[in-house]
Chain A
Amino acid sequence: MKKEATANLNNSDSGKDDYISRSKQLLNKYKVKIGDSVKLISNKGDYTGIIMPRYESFNDNYVVIKLNSGYNIGISIDNIINITSEKLSETSVNVSLNPVKTDEPHNGKFVLTKGINHDIKKPLLSSSLPKILLLTTGGTIASKIDYRTGGVTSILNASDLYSIFPEISNYASIYPEFLFNEYSENLYASHWSLLSERISYAVLHEQFDGIIVSHGTDTIHYTSSAMSFALQNLSIPVVLVGSQRSSDRPSSDAFTNLLGAIKFITKTNYAGIFVCMHHTSSDETIACHIGTRVRKNHTSKRNALQSLDHFPFALIYDSDIVCNTDLKRINTRNNISKNLISKTSFDDRVFLLKFYPGFDPSFLECFSNFKYRVIILEGTGLGHVNKNCFPYLEKLIDSGIVIFMTSQCIYGRVQMTVYDTGRDLLDLGVIPLSDMSSETAIVKAMWALSNSSNKKELVEIMRTDLSNELSNTSPLIS
């Protein structure tokens, strides 16, 4: 739903506007506004309908009205002869187009606001059901369509959620909570801090059986990595859920993904950070991935999120869940919430650099002008870059920048002892990151940079497996 305009349409007189000057002037001239039922006379014919909002990116020469048949059409301003409002009491429809926005900047610290502290002793539904906190961060999963405009709004209360997904009430009591609302490409490390603070608070002070985070899929794997480092030794499962088709569509995968996450929380005994999305194109099996070993590998398919080098941690079928426990660092659910290691700060002075044939090594010189402390170098194959880069890399390392190597191959591990190039890079001080994905590596580096006191400690953290981001064995997967 990315093409939705961002302006607030309930208030077409405000500075932020959807109709830009020309069409706006026209509407003002005829004293009508968005949502009004009107009769519009053009030199092509007469139309009756409701004036609809116009998206910002569209050109300014048309007025959009929704005819009684439900169809929208655009009428050229040049053809409009007259517009009259049908002054009936209920005809002005509140047309809202936007998700609730948080425009206030936040400092990355979770601030407990009134009403957020869930009194979960008062059960929402049956007290015997597991209790799940649903944090919404802006994905499409907890939104609903505005039929008239096609816009989506966030769902902010449980009853809305149950009314859309009634089956959920058979499995759990859901406590939805709005945290922030951003397309996931707009997130900063400060959002990760905010989210992890909120989860940390819930784990320590609220007795939930699990937490679901609805999240845009574009960067869901960055956030899941961030949570995996910021929140270690979790006593309950925290599952990030996204959807590739927004929940305003009958074919949305939001519900099956959400239900998969709920089943995983209520029917298995594992704790930690996970991501639940479709396993295939079918609405049948939901894959539950480890937070640090997952990547978005397709722009639009339902099964875009895939586990890297390992099987998904769990496959959730209709009435059965099959878990794959070959990874070592998976905790089981426990009551010892105080063991939680919560380090929620990130330092974003980390750069991800992708090498490619034709890359100009002198570009590396520009890093001396920036604040970056760490470079994740995404090399070719086993971890290589052109030998002409060597003197520049050496200079950067000498200047104190730490350079880690990951591979631009999506699968497999970096092994820099196989060819001269790799060995030379090792000699220069480039540090290989084994089978850690570039995306996980950059998140981990931001976290490690913030949570270490010197370079040595930073490197040690990066090379130590904390949350399954590094593994010793790669299973043979066909």
Chain B
Amino acid sequence: MILMKFDFDSLKVKVGFEIHQQLDTKNKLFCNCKCEEANGSYDNNFIRILRPTKSELGNFDRAAIFEHTKMNTIKYYSKVGLSCLVEADEEPPHDVNRSALETVLLFSLALNSNIVDEIHVMRKLVIDGSNTSGFQRTMLVSTGGNLKVDGFRKIGVQSICLEEDAAKLLPHSKLYKEYGLDRLGIPLVEIALEPISGKPDEIVNVALTLGRLLRSSKRVSRGLGSIRQDVNISVNDGKVVEVKGVQQLSQLVKVLDYETKRQYGLIKIAEEFEKRNIDDGFIGDRIQDITYLFKDSSSTILKKILKDANSILLSIRLRGLNGLIGYEPINGIRLGKELGEFVRFFGLGGIFHSDELPKYGVTVKDVENIKELLGLSNSDAFLIIGGNEKKINIVLEPLIRRIREFKHGVVAETRSATMDGSTIFSRPRAGSSRMYPETDILPIPVESVLLDDLKQKIPLSWNDLIRQIMKKYELNIKLSEHIFDSQYYDIFEKIVSTSKNITPTFIASKLTEDVVSLSRNNLDKSLLTDDILIEVFDNLEKGFIAKESVTLIFEKIMKKESKSVKEAINSLNLIKINDDELHKILDKILNDNAHVIKEKGINSIGALMGKSMIMLRGKVDGYKINEYLKQKIERFINDEFFK
């Protein structure tokens, strides 16, 4: 399924999953606020500054201090009902939401994981602003266990935790990082699996199986953003890279592909470092301000950088690295690209390097000047970074350290997944020193009585569940799987429960096949909200519209041509006509086509049906037209016969 220019099998790729799934609870994990989206309608805001706290050994957590170097002021937005003083870090957390805890205990039981005797709530330092307190509250519920995956062996479970979701990053201004508090505190289950090796599609199957298990409990939220996977990826037993924020399985395949390639590329680059005997002292041993060289440069990029009076351009000597910055051991993976990403993280635009210059308006002469200034030999390379002087001073040291790290190949770090399936640098990996107890909440003993009770409620296995759905709704296996895997399962059950006249099969196929085929045409299925779906099927149930109209209405709404079901029905002229009118129309068609009937007898129904549908599509069920026509034609022939 994936085409690669290197041999995937020859690499030892290990993938560990950490799945984060929002639980479908009424209230948040540590307060009574509702678990709903604010959809941008906030009614209050405040400003905070977070700072790293020191460990007892006198060390700051690496990840924490890193965040602090790029710290900016954070603005939080809240909405009454969706967040309270707890989310604002203005009140201690309340007791743990029991329903959320029970759900996680259920998952632990389902995965044969060892539940701890007493749960301790911990604080995990996170000072990027996504938590107002500066830490995420999390608790280890169980360790060990296994997941059975079809066509795979059993996959080991490392740990199962219950934790609070982080605040939602909003599009923000230059002044502040901005977050919405509505998502902060929503309960999440975090399940970490043992690292496994396998083909990307096999690995995706593991994620799919785990996701299905969670969903089969019917205690988790559905829809985009409610499930996120962190993926730990290592190649040839190298350092582990954690990729955060993979939301869809299709994205996961691409991320695995990209990250494997990237790590392979980094290993190749490190081999070159080794060959050339690159010492730490070679990197950044001379740094020269070259702003003056480009005062009158015609390069539009440089002009743009230097427009700001506080901007400077620095050149950095990299001894022995000539040709290595642009070296591309595998398609799309270059040291230069990694470094560009790194400095962009600090808010700079990017880098220039000697392997790509002259280019971008930097002339041969410019390059020669820089080489002379830095005293470069033929085997040496240089980098140019430009931007606000303060920013440059912040980025310089980490950048040089980062380049030195390339000689070790893959660096243990946290990256985030992009929508197109690549990964970008986000911070060094956090250590265990960032965990300390949440002293505001007492430890929670797990009573064996509770566990005995929960054992009765363990979610069904995937296969059993599908069988159950098939039986209950009389769906075929394919449709049962499709509707359950889709985001519409909950709404499907809801609609079925209120429908007498529509079959579950019809509802399921509309919600799966039809929606999928419409979205293939780039129509937006997110416009089909639960309310809209309920309204459409309700119209059908009450006989106001015909079966044929359902897809037409979906299409109208997904195309943004209609905002409401009513509008779609009106604009499509779908209001079902009553029997009197139907008889009148059919009689007229019959009369107009009397010659056809006389000629073809009962076989004329095909032709007449076609003519009728042109006039009646979406207003009357096809089968009804067919039936009425059949009766009318028979009567007509009969009458003719006895005439």
Binding site for B on A (CB under 8 A): 1, 3-4, 42, 44-45, 47, 57-59, 61-62, 64, 66-76, 79, 96, 144-150, 163-164, 244-245, 247-252, 255-256, 280-284, 299-302
Contact = CB atoms under 8 A, between A and B. Distances in A.
A71 B140 contact: yes
A284 B49 CA distance: 9
Contacts of A163: 54, 58
Contacts of B52: 250
9 contacts: A44-B114, A62-B118, A69-B435, A73-B117, A73-B119, A145-B55, A146-B436, A163-B58, A249-B135
A67 to B, nearest CB: 7
B54 A75 contact: no
Interface stretch (B83-91, B349-357, B389-397, B505-513): B83-91
A147 B437 CA distance: 8
B480 interface: no
A157 to B, nearest CB: 13
A163 B135 CA distance: 21
A74 B133 contact: no
Contacts of A68: 432
B47 A71 contact: no
Contact of A281 (B51, B58, B88, B119): B88
Contacts of A283: 47-49, 73
A69 B120 contact: no
A56 B13 CA distance: 48
A146 B433 CA distance: 10
Contacts of A299: 91
A45 B114 contact: yes
A59 B47 contact: no
Contacts of B124: 70
A249 B48 contact: no
Nearest to B67: A250
Nearest to A44: B114
Interface stretch (B98-106, B440-448, B558-566): B440-448
Contacts of B139: 71
Contacts of B55: 145, 147
B190 to A, nearest CB: 11
Interface in B235-275: none
B122 A250 contact: no
B437 A150 contact: yes
B439 interface: yes
B132 to A, nearest CB: 6
B432 A70 contact: yes
Q: 5 smallest A-B Cβ distances: which pairs?
A: A250-B134, A74-B118, A70-B435, A70-B432, A150-B437
Contacts of B539: none
A282 B54 contact: no
Contact of A147 (B51, B161, B433): B433
B54 A281 contact: no
**Which residue, B54, B85, B125, B127, has most C-beta atoms of chain A within 10 A?**
B54
B48 A74 contact: no
A3 B440 CA distance: 7
Contacts of B58: 163
Interface residues of B, number: 57
A149 B91 CA distance: 22
A251 to B, nearest CB: 4
B116 A64 contact: no
Contact of B436 (A61, A62, A96, A148): A148
Given A75-B116, A283-B47, A300 B134 contact: no
A149 B57 CA distance: 12
Given A69-B159, A73-B140, A250 B437 contact: no
Contacts of A164: 53-54
Nearest to B441: A3
B439 A4 contact: yes
B435 A146 contact: no
Nearest to A245: B89
Contacts of A145: 53-56, 436
Nearest to A79: B117
A263 to B, nearest CB: 15
Given A72-B122, A72-B140, A147-B433, 4 more contacts: A69-B159, A146-B56, A150-B436, A281-B46
**Which residue, B73, B115, B118, has most C-beta atoms of chain A within 10 A?**
B118
A75 B117 CA distance: 5
Contacts of A70: 122, 124, 431-435
Contacts of A256: 49
**Which residue, A1, A71, A252, A283, has most C-beta atoms of chain B within 10 A?**
A71
B144 interface: yes
A280 B127 CA distance: 21
A174 to B, nearest CB: 17
A98 B120 CA distance: 20
A147 B432 CA distance: 10
Contacts of A147: 55-57, 433-436
B50 interface: yes
B92 interface: yes
A45 B143 contact: yes
A150 B439 contact: yes
B557 to A, nearest CB: 42
B32 to A, nearest CB: 16
Contact of A250 (B56, B115, B135): B135
A250 B54 contact: no
Interface in B52-91: 52-58, 64, 73, 85, 88-91
Interface in B108-160: 114-120, 122-125, 127, 132-135, 138-140, 143-144, 159
Nearest to A66: B435
Given A70-B432, A73-B120, A251 B56 contact: no
Contacts of B125: 250
A164 B56 CA distance: 12
A300 B84 CA distance: 13
